Structure 1
Amino acid sequence: MSAIKSYFKEEGQLSMLGLECSKPSCFYLSVWQRNRSSTPLFIWRSLLFLTSLGILLSSMIMYGLMGKFGFWFIYLTHWGLTLNTVATAMSAVVSARCYFFGPIGAEFALPWYVKSYWVFYNSAVPIAFLITVFYWTILYEAGFEEELNHGLDVAVHGLNSLVMFLLLVSASHPSRLLHIYHPMIFGLTYAVFGAVYYLAGGVDANGNPWIYPVINWSQPGSTMAMVAITGVLLIALHLAVVGLAAIRDAIATRVIRRSVITHIEEGMPLRSQTQTIT
């Protein structure tokens, strides 16, 4: 009980709202590694990025072939796919930077590209989970099929979360409670976009005066209720991500004995000297 209390006391500090971390290596080394090589995570993140990019391009091309390319940009799912792609791209950029130029020092603040990746990661993971849960529990049951191909529909609303889950479990950087404002800002931005789009006379790909049938701004009462419910779900999913990260770290510490690796390793060369736990 004291450990839980201590955790919330530490995570609840206002300083946790920021984007600083005393151990930069956690952004380019996996929690499952026994050495300090940046290569494994660089390769893994590159594969995740290519998967996200492939799903994104497949969806866009399908809309283009159907002559509905402009409507691709109005759906939350596609905003989420874009966010996934940027997050995985930034993760690969961070790993590539360390692979080619060496480790990130701990003496100064985190570089902008690491902070950017962290923000995109904080937003992309719970948003991907939200899109999957929202689609298969509400929209699909209502007979709404967002993609123009059923197989792609499954990939867009399933593989998106799998990719983000794999990014989560392979990382080692923290997921902080107070970073909830990152996905919330993204979600609020889309909600405002949906309202403005409706007021501007926007329609969906089939000519309906809404983007999603369950979020119809011509019925503001039920729509606001749905937006509120979605917001609560997003908060719950962010907490789930924080919990998954904690479970990941706990299992890795027991299996890999990562606690043996200390902060002394920050700044040591990544290739010329490999430290393996024995």
Structure 2
Amino acid sequence: MGVTKQYFKDQFRVDKLTLNHEETSDFYVSCWQTDQSPLYLLCVRLTVFLGCASVFIASMVLSSQSFSLKFWPIYMTHWGVFMIMATSGLALIVSIVACIQGSIDLDFGLPWYVRLYWAFLVITVPLAYYITIFYYSFLTALIEDFAVDPALDFFVHAFNSIAMFILLITSKNPVHILQFVYPFVFAVIYMVFSIIYYYSGGTNPYGEEWIYPMLDWSNPGPTTGVVFACAALMLIVHSLVVLMALFRDYLVSTCITSKRNSINIVQY
């Protein structure tokens, strides 16, 4: 009980919002390895980035066959597609720098590109899960309107969560409770965009006034309720991501300790 109390006391310190961390290797060394080589995680991140970049390109190309690309940026799903590509790309950059330099120096704090990657990660992981939950819970009944291609539909609404899950469970970087602010602000920015888009006369590719049917600002009352529900869902998803990171750390600690004990027994 004391450990739990100390954890929450530590998590609700204001400095948990500042993206400061005492160990740079947590951002380029896999939690599942016992040495400090950044090469293993580099290979994982390269694979994830290539997959995410492919989804981004495919989404642009296939969407252009169904509607004008000027409508592509209006959907949160596509914001998510861009974010997973950017996040995996930043993760790859961190690993490349670590491989070239041998390590990343902490003399002046975390380098800006590591902070940027961390910020993107704490936004994109819950965002990816949020998009998956939102789509398959509320929009699958409208799949004929929203699915440009069945295969692409899977990759932009489900693969995003898989890719971010891989980045999360293969790294050591922490996810703090107070960092819910980052995905929350991102979601607020999208909501503000949707309001501005509506009042500036924007439509979806089919000429309707809404981007998503439940985000119809011509009916502000119900839509406001949806916004609050979505905000609550984002907070819940972020909390689940925090728990996933904690469970990852627990599994790693257990597995590595067990492995070391086995080695010691064999050597003995």
Tell whether the structures are fold-level matches, with TM greater than 0.5.
Answer: yes
Q: Deviations over 1:54-104 (max 9, x none)?
A: 111101001223342111110000001101110000000000000011211
Q: Which residue of 2 aligns with 1:252?
A: 252
- In the other structure, the counterpart of 1:213 is 213
Q: 1:4 to 1:144 in 2, by over 3 A?
A: farther
- 1:212 offset after TM fit, Å? 0.2
Inter-partner Cα distance in structure 2 for 1:118 and 1:146: 31
Tell which has more relative contact order, 1 or 2 (C-alpha 8 A, sep 6+): 1
1:49 corresponds to which residue? 49
Does the CA contact (< 8 Å) of 1:128 and 1:160 recur in 2?
Answer: yes
Residue 122 of structure 1, CA deviation:
0.5
Normalising by structure 2, we get a TM-score of 0.94
Shift of 1:154: 1.6
Residue 266 of structure 1 corresponds to none
Whether the 8 Å contact between 2:30 and 2:170 is mirrored in structure 1 is yes
- In the alignment, the residues of structure 2 paired with residue 140 and residue 112 of structure 1 have an alpha-carbon distance, to the nearest angstrom, of 40
Aligned position for 1:62: 62
SS of the aligned residue for 2:83 comes to helix
Match of 1:119 in 2: 119
Q: Which has the higher helix share?
A: 2
Amino acid at match of 1:204: N
Amino acid at match of 1:230: C
Q: Cα offset for 1:256?
A: 1.4
Residue 139 of structure 2 is aligned to residue 139 of structure 1: yes
Retained in 2: the 8 A contact 1:52–1:81?
A: yes
Displacement of 1:247 in angstroms is: 0.3
Give, in whole Å, the separation in 2 of the partners of 1:84 and 1:254: 30
Equivalent position of 1:90 in the other structure: 90
Q: CA deviation at 1:144?
A: 5.9
Matching of residue 174 in structure 1 with residue 170 in structure 2: no
RMSD of equivalent CA atoms: 1.5
Work out the number of aligned pairs and report it.
Answer: 260
Instruction: Give the aligned partner of residue 77 of structure 1.
Output: 77
What per-residue deviation string (whole Å, max 9, x for no partner) do you get for residues 14-37 of structure 1? 111111101111000011011111
Deviation at 1:231, TM superposition (A): 0.5
Q: Which amino acid aligns with 2:247?
A: I
Tell me the CA shift for residue 106 of structure 1.
3.2
2:14 maps to 1:14: yes
Which one-letter code corresponds to 2:66 in the other structure?
Answer: M
Identical counterparts, % of pairs: 34
Which position in structure 1 is the counterpart of 2:239? Answer: 239
1:252, CA displacement in angstroms? Answer: 0.3
SS at match of 1:140: helix
SS in 1 for 2:94: helix
User: 3-state SS of the aligned residue for 1:141?
Assistant: helix
Answer yes or no: is the 8 Å Cα contact 2:122–2:182 preserved in 1. Answer: yes
CA distance in 1, matches of 2:137, 2:197: 25
**CA deviation digits over 1:219-258, x for unaligned, max 9?**
0011010011000000000010000000000000110139
Equivalent residue letter for 2:88: T
Are the counterparts in 2 of residues 27 and 94 from structure 1 also a CA contact under 8 Å? yes
Which residue of structure 2 aligns with residue 36 of structure 1? Answer: 36
Residues 139 and 214 in structure 1, CA contact (< 8 A), matched pair in contact too: no
Aligned partners of 2:67 and 2:205 also within 8 Å: no
The answer (yes or no) to whether the contact 1:59–1:147 under 8 Å persists in 2 is: no
Aligned to 1:189: 189
Distance in 2 of aligned mates of 1:39 and 1:55: 24
Q: Secondary structure at the match of 2:141?
A: coil
Runs of 5+ in structure 1 lacking a partner?
Answer: 261-277
Q: Secondary structure at the match of 2:204?
A: coil
Shift of 1:167: 0.7
CA distance in 1, matches of 2:245, 2:159: 20
Taking structure 1 as reference, are residues 133 and 77 closer, same or farther at Cα in structure 2, changes over 3 Å only? same
- Contact 1:139–1:145 at 8 Å: present in 2 too? no
- Amino acid paired to 1:24: T
SS at match of 1:203: coil
Q: Secondary structure at the match of 1:84?
A: helix
Kept after mapping to 2: 8 A contact 1:145/1:153: no
Counterpart residue type for residue 192 of structure 2: V
- Using the TM superposition, give the Cα deviation of residue 171 of structure 1 relative to its aligned residue in structure 2, in angstroms: 0.8
